Structure 1
Amino acid sequence: MQKRLLALAILAASTSVSTQADIVGASAGAYMWKQSWDGHVKSGPDSIDMNDDLGYDDETGKSFYVALEHPVPVLPNIRLQRTDLDISESNQLSRNFTFEGDVYTAADTVNSTTDLTHTDATLYYEILDNWVNLDVGLTVRMFDGEVRLATTGREGSIELDAPVPMAYVNARFDLPLTGLYASALANVISYSDSSVTDMSVGLGYEFGVVGLELGYRNFDVDLEDDGEEAKVTVDGYFFGVVIDI
């Protein structure tokens, strides 16, 4: 009797391990994002408009992610994403303003760069996994950028390189038997006088392990610190390829 019980236990354990191994999954995606820039920056008494003063318009950026899901209930899944988010322009000023203690005057040609490139490290749990998929967790967004202005004999910059913790929600809705799906993803935080909101929605078509996605992404950052301020909105449509295995 004991031998039978032992054999059944071994069989059950083997079946459990095999089942868990079957639900280990990985996914990856690559996107091209048509970015429209708007907003202002400030380091001193004057607010500097990104469109009127710096000549910003549209730019194209890239974003990549990889995610790994495993069957261990107590441990979170992991997702890493990198987004290129920078723009550079040269523009002739039509007014005077002060930035980082230097006065930029009308008719100066200012070379500027705004870089909000970031890497996301996300730990999340899968709450639903059927025709509706829902993940919730925590993202740490690591900025490694700056706002830099330069003209003849003058140059100043605001560093944007702080890690920011954000709430993470990722949902997908499959239309059964069609390969079509809708998705929505959000990373958000608001604290004191600052906030970061990054939201995207998309429609996709999946054939086999490959999916094609078309969507819209809106990124808002509102940061204030010791007289320095950056209020920037970047939004636009994206197209991507996703692999889910």
Structure 2
Amino acid sequence: MVRSLLKTAFLPLLLHIPAYADMIGGELSAGVYSHAPKGYATYDFYDTESKTSVEDTLHWEESRDLFFKAYFEHPVSFLPNIKLEYSNFSHEGSGEVSDFSWGGISGFTGDIYNTMDMQAFDVTLYYELLDNWASFDAGLTLRRIYGDVYLETRTMMMNQPYDYKSERAEYDEWIPMVYLKTRFELPNTELMLQAELNAISYEDSTMYDALFTLRYTFGMGMGIEGGYRMIHLEDNNLGANLAIDVDFRGPYAAVVWDF
């Protein structure tokens, strides 16, 4: 499937590569984003198709994490430019549940504690199809997501825990996605609007990662930007018996250096 996506994404691009290209340059950025989760997760050994709300049952709340990006561009017009990105997602929650099932835990009533950790690493190959006051890039991203969801039950007696059970669902997956990016420089200002998208949908899986940005450049390529990020992950086979259908949304801010 990845080979087919490569052909589909890159063949039209190769036919429309402009005759010019930028000199060697790039962009580095580091930022923090706040993401509030909404949706469901399932860790089901018995095919009960039960869904667990990440907000109401797992008690995931808004969290803040770091991300890093690097773009590298060159003057060889027929070779794609490269973008690298690393992001981290983490949530934790605790609370009371009733008749709760998760993995090998079935019909539990009491207290639970759980964590979600997800690392995401992107390699993107893209072409600049338009490059002036308005620009447009297109390419293909290969994203690796890996991590785990850990959950433990806590049975209390006389306000003291006396029995623990735990489950850990691990996952490690490569996801190919179409990459699009456009930006517009606002005339007579140091402001720029930008939108960036990675997206794919196939079989029982859908994922997109969209950013909408306003940037201000001070000088020497240094600047700050802020905006809104929306991530949707729906995968019925993320790991063994693990399924997820969750949205992560919230604002972000970053410092950038365009060199």
| TM-score using structure 1 length | 0.87
C-alpha RMSD of matched pairs (Å): 1.7
Cross-structure match for 1:232? 246
**Secondary structure in 2 aligned to 1:54?**
coil
In structure 2, which of residues 47, 50, 53 is the aligned counterpart of residue 49 of structure 1?
53
Cross-structure match for 2:148? 146
Residue 137 (structure 2) pairs with residue 160 (structure 1): no
Q: Is the 8 A contact 2:66 2:87 kept in 1?
A: yes
Separation (CA, whole Å) in 2 of partners of 1:24 and 1:164: 29
**Secondary structure in 2 aligned to 1:177?**
coil
**Secondary structure in 2 aligned to 1:134?**
strand
Query: What's the % identity of the aligned pairs?
Result: 33
Residue 116 (structure 2) pairs with residue 114 (structure 1): yes
Structure 2, unmatched stretches of 5+, are: 1-19, 154-162
Residue 103 (structure 2) pairs with residue 103 (structure 1): no
In structure 2, which of residues 198, 218, 223 is the aligned counterpart of residue 187 of structure 1?
198
Cross-structure match for 2:210? 199
Residue 25 (structure 2) pairs with residue 25 (structure 1): yes
Change (3 A) 1:62 1:104: farther
Separation (CA, whole Å) in 2 of partners of 1:92 and 1:170: 44
Cross-structure match for 1:15? none
In structure 2, which of residues 108, 133, 136 is the aligned counterpart of residue 134 of structure 1?
136
Q: How many residues align structurally?
A: 224
Q: CA offsets per residue over residues 150-185 of structure 1, 9 Å max, x none? A: 124322233231010000011111012211110000
Separation (CA, whole Å) in 2 of partners of 1:51 and 1:149: 15
Structure 1, unmatched stretches of 5+, are: 1-18
Separation (CA, whole Å) in 1 of partners of 2:127 and 2:171: 29
In structure 2, which of residues 72, 77, 84 is the aligned counterpart of residue 80 of structure 1?
84
Distance apart, 1:49 and its partner CA: 0.8
Q: CA offsets per residue over residues 188-244 of structure 1, 9 Å max, x none? A: 000101110111101111121112111000000000027531011110001111100
Q: Give the residue type in structure 1 aligned to 2:109.
A: A
Separation (CA, whole Å) in 1 of partners of 2:38 and 2:30: 25
Distance apart, 1:139 and its partner CA: 0.6
**Secondary structure in 2 aligned to 1:153?**
strand
Q: Give the residue type in structure 1 aligned to 2:236.
A: E
